[in-house]
Structure 1
């Protein structure tokens, strides 16, 4: 796909504002920038300089992100016009121990938006990768490829915490534009429509609906029914996994479920269940 493909045109900021900003949309603050290194880093810096810089619920979208941030300081870049890269600012008034659900809930919203808008059966890999089916299995991934990722960062505020939730989604990259074999794009996954603006509007709507349910349940994802929704789209569950834990150790076992706070439960060969709060998960094989 050439760089002058009409699907790689710049985002129409004014049209998006009219759709997404209150009173017609769910957002209090919305900005589009032509290019930046990292939308997450930009918002975190803004909040640290002035906590009122991003009031209410806000979104920053970059038409081109040149040094996106991932877990453990990893960086990535995509060709201009090929990806949806955005960061949400939320101030969840829920108990602190329930904030661990945020990456999973953001993933659920992204999965719902991809399925509704692109017609691709997206899935979630615990805790923050977005997957789509692939024809050929790949070691550590199985018959799926990564189409996007999520990064949540907390910023302390005088009345609690603001959380910046970054979402990066590969939309129209060709195979030779992908950085690693485990990556793909919605276009390569057979998307019915490849439109960054439609995807953004669907993503904002999906996350707003999830946020309302979560808030109304005081952050209790189980009571809100969101824990069950996440489990239904989480491909990690029910697979043989290897988890690379902080500190350099590995754990192998079967991912059996999520606990009430979103931690991954892994049962090892001895039948002991481990509660995983952080780590890189590799899908070794499907069971059954």
Structure 2
């Protein structure tokens, strides 16, 4: 057996001091020892007391026992081994016209926080996976659908109807200190396994909230226009899917194989199939086909 992993509890008082108004961007912050799902808990709170959660709010759990991923998948971690949180924002009428960008902007904020605090080469896999790029030791460790990249976290965005209007709940889960035998699938990794320079969850959550607040402000100032604000280009620059040959499992059955070209104005993935036709993918599971590397930032395949 290896040495015990140090997994300290989150300190609610410290996080509130740093993140609540006037020091930080949050209007309300709840730190809980255990939650089945932070998205479910925050959505219920918004529905029950919308006026008490006006502004930007957050629920963060020391242990999420029944987390939810996209398409109804489950996501579980050992106690205190991951950062699991949900943030609520209230999109304006203008923001709601391009609501599809919210999960991508959330992913961009997470990428920036991971790079700044953990020092890992993070990126996005469309539409909602957080990757550590080249996390596998060698090309011989490449996995079909992932190559040498590994999933370190993910984003789950939901729109919640309330008596005060629709609220967006942005759930983020990041594997922090899991050992190899604590991960559920070979495509997963943790910051610890990726060689992160800092595994302090409090440092990461402060960086994450700060990054998201800055991105949300830019998005709203531009009237919810991700293209005009420049945020669309910034998302594309960290999106590892673009420029790759991909295989997309489409909702309801069917498959699309081709090259991921770009994101359209609504954040959907544009794929050129083998017949040369460009098709827009609004939802689906995307696998990165081996043998095709992405283009560099700012380039177009």
**TM-score, normalisation: structure 1:** 0.96
SS of residue matched to 1:47: helix
What CA distance in whole angstroms lies between the structure 2 residues aligned with 1:182 and 1:95? Answer: 34
Contact 1:238–1:286 at 8 Å: present in 2 too? no
**Which stretch shows the higher mean deviation, 17-26 or 46-55?**
46-55
Structure-1 residue corresponding to 2:296: none
What CA distance in whole angstroms lies between the structure 2 residues aligned with 1:286 and 1:25? Answer: 44
Larger relative strand fraction: 1
Gaps of 5+ in 2: 294-301
Structure-2 residue corresponding to 1:276: 281
Deviation at 1:78, TM superposition (A): 0.6
Structure-2 residue corresponding to 1:24: 23
Contact 2:42–2:58 at 8 Å: present in 1 too? no
User: What CA deviation, in whole Å up to 9, does each residue of 1:136-169 have, x standing for no partner?
Assistant: 2111111100000000110123454101000000
2:213 counterpart of 1:208:
yes
Contact 2:50–2:164 at 8 Å: present in 1 too? no
What CA distance in whole angstroms lies between the structure 2 residues aligned with 1:199 and 1:90? Answer: 20
What CA distance in whole angstroms lies between the structure 1 residues aligned with 2:177 and 2:105? Answer: 24
Number of aligned residue pairs? 287
**TM-score, normalisation: structure 2:** 0.92
SS of residue matched to 1:179: coil
**Which stretch shows the higher mean deviation, 157-166 or 40-49?**
157-166
Structure 2 matches for 1:8-87, cutoff 5 A?
Answer: 8-87=7-86
User: What CA deviation, in whole Å up to 9, does each residue of 1:49-85 have, x standing for no partner?
Assistant: 3322422100100000001000111112111111000
Gaps of 5+ in 1: none
> Structure 1 residues 209, 107: CA separation in 2 closer, same or farther (over 3 Å shift)?
same
Decide which of 147, 155, 180 is 1:150's aligned counterpart. 155
Deviation at 1:233, TM superposition (A): 0.4
Deviation at 1:5, TM superposition (A): 3.4
Contact 1:63–1:84 at 8 Å: present in 2 too? yes
Structure 2 matches for 1:124-143, cutoff 5 A?
Answer: 124-132=124-132, 133-134=134-135, 135=137, 136-143=141-148
Structure-2 residue corresponding to 1:265: 270
What CA distance in whole angstroms lies between the structure 2 residues aligned with 1:9 and 1:80? Answer: 10
What CA distance in whole angstroms lies between the structure 2 residues aligned with 1:157 and 1:52? Answer: 10
Contact 2:27–2:55 at 8 Å: present in 1 too? yes
Deviation at 1:44, TM superposition (A): 1.3
Structure-2 residue corresponding to 1:105: 105
Structure-1 residue corresponding to 2:298: none
What CA distance in whole angstroms lies between the structure 2 residues aligned with 1:281 and 1:37? Answer: 27
Structure-2 residue corresponding to 1:123: 123
Contact 1:122–1:130 at 8 Å: present in 2 too? yes
Structure-2 residue corresponding to 1:254: 259
Deviation at 1:178, TM superposition (A): 0.3
Structure-2 residue corresponding to 1:184: 189
